[in-house]
Amino acid sequence: MQALLLVGGEGTRLRPLTCKTVKAMVPILNRPFLEHLFGYLARHGVDDIVLTLCYMPDRIESYFGRGGGHGVKLTYVMEESPLGTAGAVKNAERYLKERFFVFNGDIFTDLDLGAMMAFHRERGAKATIALTPVEDPSAYGVVETGADRRVKRFVEKPKREEATTNLINAGTYVLERDVLEGVPPNTRYMFEHHLFPGLLQNDQPVYAFPSDAYWIDIGTPQKYCQVQYDLLQGKGQSSLASPAKDGRPGFGARSSLHATASVEGAVVVGDDCSVGPHVRLRGPVVMGNNCRILEGAAIESSVIWNNVTVGRNAWLEGCIVGSNSSIGEGCSVGQGVVMGEGVTVGNGIRLEPGRKVWPDTSV
């Protein structure tokens, strides 16, 4: 089977983490998000993957190449300027089979793709949209269906009290290639605003495939952390690159933990890290490779990328630290702080909750 992945967006909500890389490459439990997605797709029999790129295209292509090592074949299609979700698919039309999946490239899910494809075929649908339930649909695109699951209406961001369903567009579709005939080439065009409503207007069979499989959109710092904490608690395991080992708390190769340090809860530490005397790690914590946590530091509920140094007696809680950053002695870093890559925080600095620190800056 074939899938097209939409990975051309700028990921503005995830800044400053996406200032130097793309959303699809941010690490989830120390592996690029896309690596997990490829593993999941390959296990579901999807091994022919078309990636539509626009923002920082080289980040993905230089890492994955043709994809051989990941059990999938990759084809890259570039946009000079962002064409929107449906415009990007139109732009890749020449590589597409008659029927294929489309994925928003920021969704972590363990949806049953085989069952979705079978449903699409049985119904003779032109398009099938995966739906997922959410507690508050007011920030999403809601999809109203009949009892036969045929789509009746799309409602973008309904007021909470006006939403007739809590099932939202989960950003995964099965499409027949001929639906692209109605999409103008080289034009910004969106699924939710243009293509799907147009199909309904023309009375084309558009169906919905609701599922309560694990689903999360990693597009904000809070959700980016949440997906990793969920995985550490055993949720969504079958969407990991290699479910047997990736989601397990533990220390990587050559990493050391001082005898006086303490570890509580689910903690993942990458390779070549050192955790010094009297350090306290209180999970969920995800730490990349080559990090040094110096004496007396405390880290709780945080995600730390590669090559990070945390100074003596520093205190970090509920934050994200980009690669190649250094946090000085005695600093305190509060809830919701997001640091880009290459940040230096001087000794004794207090970063107030929610602060965003741009890459390659010193505070």
Angstrom distance (rounded) from CA 210 to CA 200 = 18
Active site residue 157: yes
Work out whether 9 is an interface residue with ligand GTP (CB under 6 A): yes
Shortest CB 82 distance to ligand GTP, Å = 3
Query: Measured between alpha carbons, how far is 265 from 278 in angstroms, rounded to an integer?
Result: 17
110 vs 300 by CB, closer to ligand GTP: 110
What pairing do the DSSP bridges indicate for beta strands 262-264 and 267-269? unpaired
Binding mask 21-50 for ligand GTP (x = CB under 6 A): --x---------------------------
- Choose the stretch contacting ligand GTP; rule: CB under 6 A; options: 7-15, 56-64, 125-133, 173-181: 7-15
DSSP-based three-state secondary structure for 115:
helix
Alpha-carbon distance of 163 to 102, in angstroms, equals 26
Q: Which of residues 125-154 bind ligand GTP (CB under 6 A)?
A: none
| CB nearer ligand GTP, residue 104 or residue 332 | 104
Q: Which is nearer to ligand GTP, 9 or 67 (CB)?
A: 9
Which residue has the closest beta carbon to ligand GTP?
9
136 token code pair: 């508050």
Q: Applying CB under 6 A, does 12 fall inside the site for ligand GTP?
A: yes
Nearer CB in complex with ligand GTP: 58/161: 58
Q: Shortest distance, CB of residue 101 to ligand GTP, whole angstroms?
A: 14
Residues 100/15, Cβ–Cβ less than 8 Å: no
**Site for ligand GTP, residues 49 to 78, rule: CB under 6 A:** 52, 54
Position 240 contacts ligand GTP (CB under 6 A): no
Phi/psi at 318 (5° precision): 65, 40
Cβ neighbours for 21, distance < 8 A, ≥ 6 positions apart: 56, 59, 341
Q: How far is the CB of 90 from ligand GTP (least distance, A)?
A: 11
Nearer to ligand GTP, 82 or 249 (CB): 82
Pairing of strands 315-317, 332-333: parallel
Residue 83 or 286 with smaller CB distance to ligand GTP: 83
Residues 6+ apart with CB under 8 A from 71: 38, 39, 42, 47
Q: What tokens does 119 get?
A: 């449903």
What is the C-alpha separation between 143 and 165, in angstroms, rounded?
8
Question: Per rule CB under 6 A, is residue 192 in the interface with ligand GTP?
Answer: no
C-alpha of 141 from chain center: 18
Q: How far is CA 87 from the centre of its chain?
A: 21
* Rounded Cα gap, residues 154 and 62, in angstroms: 38
* Interhelix angle 33-43/57-64, nearest 10 degrees: 60
CB of 52 to ligand GTP, least distance (A): 4
Q: x/- site string to ligand GTP, residues 77 to 106, per CB under 6 A?
A: --x--xxxx--x---------------xxx
Q: Which member of 23, 152, 157, 159 is catalytic?
A: 157
Binding site for ligand GTP (CB under 6 A): 6-13, 23, 52, 54, 79, 82-85, 88, 104-106, 219
Just list the catalytic residues: 157
